Amino acid sequence: MSRGGKLRVLVVDDSALVRKTMVEILTSDPDIEVMGAASDPYAAAGMMEQEVPDVVTLDIEMPRMDGLTFLRKIMSQHPLPVIICSTLAEKGGDAWLKALEYGAVDIMTKPKVGTRQFFEESRIRICDAVRAAAKANLKRLTLKPRGVGPALSADAVIAKATRPVLTETTDKVVAVGASTGGTEALRVFLEALPEDSPGVVVVQHMPEKFTAAFAKRLDSICRVTVKEAADGDSVLRGQALIAPGNRHMLLKRSGARYHVEVKDGPLVRRHRPSVDVLFRSTARYAGQNGVGVIMTGMGDDGASGLLEMKEAGAYTIAQDAETSVVWGMPGEAVKLGAAQKIMPLDRIAAEVVRACKA
C-alpha cells in the first residue's frame, strides 16, 4: 500500500477508453489509488518491476500477450490478487473459467458508457471487488491448479415475513450464497452432493451472461443437474439452480411445490443477485424445511438473511475462515449468531445431506 494506506491498483487493458474509465472509477474511491495503467502485459510487467501493486485488473484479449498467459506468469512468479475485467460473451465462458483456475480472484464486466445508474452500479461493483481482492487469501486459491453508494437491504426486493411459515410440505430445500472465491467453493460443494440430493438454489455474485457457462461446466462434472435458473423453474431433487447474473432470484412455493422467481430490482447489499434476497425468501417460504449455507465472499450480503432463516427454523451453516478465500460474508453471519455450524468447505456437503435426512 501507499504511504497514505490506499490500495494501489494497476489497470491493464488495450483500450484507452476503458483505461480512462477504470481510472476514473477507481480514483473516485478514497481508499484506492491507481499506480498505473498499461496497454498490454509487457508494459504492465515493466511497471511491476518498479513497484508491486496491491491488486491488478486485467483484460483477457490484448495484443502481444493475452491476459490468461500473463495471469499464469504472475501467479507462478509473484502471486498477486488479480481481477479479470473483460468483455463478456457467451462463447468466452470457458476463458473466464480458465482464468479462475489459473488463480484470478474475481471476474467482472468492463464498465460501459451508459446510463448514470449503470455507471454507478459498475463503480460500486468494481471498487468492492478491488477491496475484496486485496484481502484474498491467495493460498486458498490453489485448492485446484467490492464505501461507494448505498447498501440496500432485502426490503428493496422482498418484504420480511410477519408470520411464521405454515408447513405444508416436508420437502427440504438448500439455499447457498457465495461471492469472492465462491466459484471454486461451489464446485467442491456441488461435486460432493449425491444425485438424489434435495433441491439446491444458489446465488453466486457473478456478472451477467457468465452464469450460464458456469452452470454448464458444473453440470458436466457433478452428479446433480446444474442449470442457470429461469423464472418459474421448479426446485427439484437432484438439481441445483444458479441465479442468473444481474437478476435477483427468490424461492417461492405453490402448495407443496417450490419454484423460483427471477426478477430485476435494485442492488441489495451492493449486489444483484443478492444472497440476502434468496435467503429471506427461503425463510419465508421454506421455514424449518430450509437449509442455509453461506460461503466465502467479501462484505455482508447473506448474513442477515441467514439469521432470518435460522429464526424461521432452518438449519444454517457457514464456511470457516481457514478454507475461505475471503471470510467476509460467513464471518459477518457468525458475528450475528446466524450460523449453527461453522465448517471447512470439504465437510459442508455431507453435513447438508445429514441435516436434510434428520
Catalytic residues, which ones? Answer: 179, 205, 301
Provide the 8-state DSSP code for 165.
P
SS3 123: helix
Angle between helices 93-102 and 67-77 (to 10 degrees): 10
| Element of type H or E holding 57 | strand 55-58
Neighbours of 63 (CB within 10 A): 10
210 grid coordinates: 457468465
Contact 264, 296 (CB under 8 A): no
212, 231, 150, 286: CA torsion to nearest 10: -110
- How far, in Å, CA of 95 to CA of 338, rounded? 37
Tell me phi and psi for residue 38, to 5 degrees.
-110, 145
| Residue 118: Cβ within 10 Å count | 12
Looking at residue 164, what DSSP letter applies? Answer: P
How do beta strands 225-228 and 239-242 pair? parallel
Report how far Cα 36 is from the mean position of its chain's Cα atoms. Answer: 27
Say if strands 7-12 and 32-38 run parallel, antiparallel, or are unpaired. parallel
Range list of H helices, the chain: 16-27, 41-50, 67-77, 93-102, 116-134, 182-191, 210-221, 275-285, 303-311, 329-335, 345-357
